[in-house]
Amino acid sequence: MRNGILPVGSVFPDFTKKTVVSIEEGKEFSTLTLADLKDGEKWTVMFWWPKDFTFVCPTEIAEFNNSYSDFRDRDTQLIGASTDSEFVHLAWRKNHDDLKGLKFPMLADTSKSLAEELGILEKEEKIAYRATFIIDPQGIVRWVSVNDLSVGRNVKEVIRVLDALQTDELCPCNWQKGEATLSV
Amino acid sequence: MNNEVIDELLTELQVESTFNSDTLDILDQGESRYIKDLKVNVKNVLQSDYLSEKECALIGLAIAVNGQNEVLKKFYLNLSTEKGATKAETAEVVACASLLATNNVLYRFRHFVKKDKYNQLQGRIKMSIMMNPVLGKEFFELVSLAVSAVNACEMCINAHEQSVLNHGGSEERIFDAIRIAAVITGLSKIVN
């Protein structure tokens, strides 16, 4: 097991996981792999919660969903994740009014291998902390934030960090003396 | 995809869906990703850690007036009122934009030519509204600075930047005001 959380600057670990993408019959499931994260164009925000069917989670997940267009405008895909199975995810999405219209996939880390490699598995119950990762189009972790099990997070803050990571960097007028020149 | 973003941008700006702009059409037809960037920038400058929402809206109004943009004038006027600006305050911002556009031409001429003679000749521009602004001296100066930055008068920019600081403003407030001016100037090339 990883000792501590995967640090900023690391390559996001390889994975292949089942996801729930819809509640429509026959279209419920898909698969997500590391290749979907490092396509050279999209950024990724992956946020984790401890358990499906608990109280703080749906509020938080619905808030991410409400900001879906803000993420899309920033060329960023949202991925929600927990260690529950894809069948539990689906049942929860069908069961809870706030989750029926979700626009992003819920990832099922049933074997807990990804949470373990990310270093976000709580030791006692072996469930994920409320961790949020921003991953750039090359698959490099650029921001990590981890809340203890009961603390919800602020979606606006995630967007603010994303803006800070994405803006300004391309304009030659932001070159500092001595920096390598940009090749765009 | 772009249609959705354009609709959201126009809704954000309280513009009717029948609205038509040739530059926006060109971006749309070329599937330009710039529309997303523009929407992000426009939404971001509606809020600031150092300016109230009302102040952001009023600076927007001044820039729209300076740029003679009908659509944005209407939007930022409504927004200013919604955020609590009185009629006297919106009137003051409109007056400030007009006066500064005036001063920017005159003083810019002086600083470009750099001849003593033009500094000695009287300016003869009446500017009594600068005396006791209802929005307070610091904010009036801040709006003056933002308009001057758009109209690119070096002398006015230097003078009003110093003046904002002298009246208790901060560099953070100044730069946020300049960012609003920059983004709205860009926006008005697309939404007009």
User: Domain residue spans in chain B?
Assistant: 45-190
Judged by CB atoms closer than 8 Å, whether chains meet at A74 and B39 is answered as: no
Catalytic residue among B65, B156, B177, B180: B156
Write down the pLDDT at residue B1: 56
Residue A157 maps to a domain: yes
Residues A75 and A70: their CA atoms lie apart, in Å, by: 9
Over the stretch B93-129, which tens digit does the pLDDT of each residue have? 999 999 999 999 999 999 999 999 998 888 888 888 8
Catalytic site residues of A? 57
Write down the pLDDT at residue A172: 62
CA A52 to chain centre: 16
Q: Which residues of A touch B43 (CB under 8 A)?
A: 70
Can you give the CATH number for the domain in which A55 is found?
A: 3.40.30.10
Q: What b-and-e string marks burial along B77-90, b requiring 16 or more CB atoms within 10 Å of the CB?
A: bebbbeeebeeebb
Residue A45 maps to a domain: yes
Contact B106, B113 (CB under 8 A): no
Q: Is the ipTM of this complex over 0.85?
A: no
Q: Is B52 on the interface with A (CB under 8 A)?
A: no
- Tokens standing for residue B178: 């300049």
Instruction: Look up the domain containing A120 and give its range.
Output: 16-174
pTM exceeds 0.95? no
Instruction: Walk along chain A (184 residues) in steps of 10 and give the mean pLDDT of each run.
Output: 84 97 93 94 95 82 94 95 96 91 96 96 92 95 88 88 79 57 46
Those residues whose C-beta lies under 8 Å from the C-beta of residue A59, and which sit 6 or more positions away, are: A98, A152
Residue A127 maps to a domain: yes
Judged by CB atoms closer than 8 Å, whether chains meet at A74 and B33 is answered as: no
Contact A15, A114 (CB under 8 A): yes
Label the pairing between strands A76-82 and A106-108. parallel
Question: From the CA of B40, how many Å to the nearest CA of chain A?
Answer: 7
Write down the pLDDT at residue A175: 55
Write down the pLDDT at residue A174: 57
The class (CATH top level) of B45-190 is mainly alpha
Write down the pLDDT at residue A181: 47
Over the stretch B12-44, which tens digit does the pLDDT of each residue have? 999 987 888 999 999 999 999 999 999 999 999
The total number of structural domains in chain A stands at 1
Inter-residue long-range contacts of A94-102, CB under 8 Å, 24+ positions, other chains counted: A94/A23, A95/A53, A96/A58, A98/A58, A98/A59, A98/A61, A98/A62, A99/A58, A99/A61, A99/A62, A100/A23, A101/A65, A102/A61, A102/A65
Q: Which residue of A has its CA nearest to B39?
A: A73
Residues A105 and A107: their CA atoms lie apart, in Å, by: 6
